Amino acid sequence: MAIESSAHTLGVGIVENGKVLANSSAMYKLSDKGIIPAKVAEYHSKNIGRVIQHALKEAGISLSGIEAIGYTKGPGLGPCLRIAQVAARTFALSRSIPIFPVNHAVAHIEITKQLSKMKNPLALYVSGGNSQIIGLVEEPFRHYHIYGETFDVGVGNMLDSFARAAGLKPAWGSSVARLAEHGHYMAMPYTVKGMDFTFTGLQTHAIKMLEGFEHKDIAFSLQETAFAMLTEATERALLLTESKGMVLCGGVAQSARLRQMLSMMAESHRTKFYVAPNEYNADNGAMIAFVTELMLKSQHPAPIERCTIDQKYRIDKVMITW
């Protein structure tokens, strides 16, 4: 079993032999101002008991059937991460079971990889706070190498900021997509440097344009430009690594337009392309539980004093032992 609470979603997943038995969650309802970490943390702490009960019921097992516990160590919002960490540590100590701190990005990629049945695909991981192009390499140790990433904000947060400035309602990603449906293209700043990219210039430009231009045109151009930057950077990484497969994961993977662009790009290079069902793209407990099981089978449990949280826990720091 594992607990995930890196942002506004509180998730509990239960996995056995790579099969998901339960994937329960509770989501903090976003206000117009975005996420206020302390409030979300309060929400998580109030609901965590309920969500764990729900997951156990869904899996049809009792607490004593839990072999090991995992939690999201990072990256994420500090106060939110803390909730899952404290719960997991309490759980591990009181029931004397092994505990594993899990990297959130690794979990997104591993569950998508499992579902895609690809061996070693190149991954584009896009969410609120992260936008990275990632592949598994063996040197100097087995880890996920970041080929390219955003120099400033994640693509999801950029779209959210724009949507708030435009007065749209959450969920902002899909609000922007709906607004963009009948838009026309206008030129916007396009910043790709090799396989890295930046989004803040684009964000500022789009927000400034809100006065004086049609909102649907801005939304369309913003989305087209941001996704084009991601796709182009991924295309370069794909040719560099000569990967046979490619996956898309993370919250923004729910965007239909981004999926379309990447699948067209993959097709032009005769590369296989896969996106997981939305329930696994949004933050969820099942993916953390999935990695917890991988860790349980391939490494020693973490000593309790090492079970910390890390708001900036980078994926290339994680040794892959499976």
Partner 1 sequence: MVEPKIISEGAESHIYSGNLLGMDIIIKYRHKKKYLAKELDALLRSQRTKTEAKLLATARLNGVNVPALLFVRKHALYIERINGKTLNKKPNTNKSLSEILKHAGRYLAQLHNIDIAHGDYTPANIMVDAQNKVWIIDFGLALQTASLEEKALDILLMKRSISRKTFRAFINGYSKHCMKNSAILSRLAEIERRGRYQVRTLLAQQPSDS
Binding site for partner 1 (CB under 8 A): 145-149, 151, 185, 187, 190, 194-196, 224-225, 228, 231-232, 235-236, 238-240, 260-262, 264-265, 268, 316
Instruction: Provide, rounded to whole angstroms, the least separation between the CB of residue 285 and partner 1.
Output: 31
Interacting residues of 207 by C-beta distance below 8 A, sequence separation 6+: 161, 162, 165
**Helix, strand and coil in the chain, % to nearest 5:** 50, 20, 30
Interacting residues of 174 by C-beta distance below 8 A, sequence separation 6+: 254
Nearer to partner 1, 84 or 318 (CB): 318
Instruction: Provide, rounded to whole angstroms, the least separation between the CB of residue 311 and partner 1.
Output: 16
Instruction: Of 122, 118, 107, 90, give the one whose Cα is nearest residue 23.
Output: 107
Instruction: Provide, rounded to whole angstroms, the least separation between the CB of residue 267 and partner 1.
Output: 9
Nearer to partner 1, 115 or 240 (CB): 240
Neighbour tally for 41: CB within 10 Å: 20
Nearer to partner 1, 19 or 270 (CB): 270
Instruction: Provide, rounded to whole angstroms, the least separation between the CB of residue 148 and partner 1.
Output: 7
Neighbour tally for 120: CB within 10 Å: 13
Instruction: Provide, rounded to whole angstroms, the least separation between the CB of residue 107 and partner 1.
Output: 22
Nearer to partner 1, 242 or 305 (CB): 242
Long-range contacts of 163-169 (CB under 8 A, 24+ apart): 164/32, 164/33, 164/34, 165/207, 165/210, 166/210, 166/215, 166/218, 166/219, 169/32
Nearer to partner 1, 107 or 261 (CB): 261
Instruction: Provide, rounded to whole angstroms, the least separation between the CB of residue 193 and partner 1.
Output: 8
Three-class DSSP category at 178: helix
Nearer to partner 1, 41 or 262 (CB): 262
Distance CA 123, CA 133 (A): 6
Nearer to partner 1, 14 or 238 (CB): 238
Nearer to partner 1, 97 or 240 (CB): 240
Instruction: Provide, rounded to whole angstroms, the least separation between the CB of residue 27 and partner 1.
Output: 32
Measured CA distances, 270 to 31, 33, 164, 236 (Å): 43, 43, 39, 14
Nearest-Å Rg of the Cα atoms of the chain is 20
Distance CA 311, CA 301 (A): 21
Instruction: Provide, rounded to whole angstroms, the least separation between the CB of residue 146 and partner 1.
Output: 7
Pair of tokens at residue 184: 């026309």
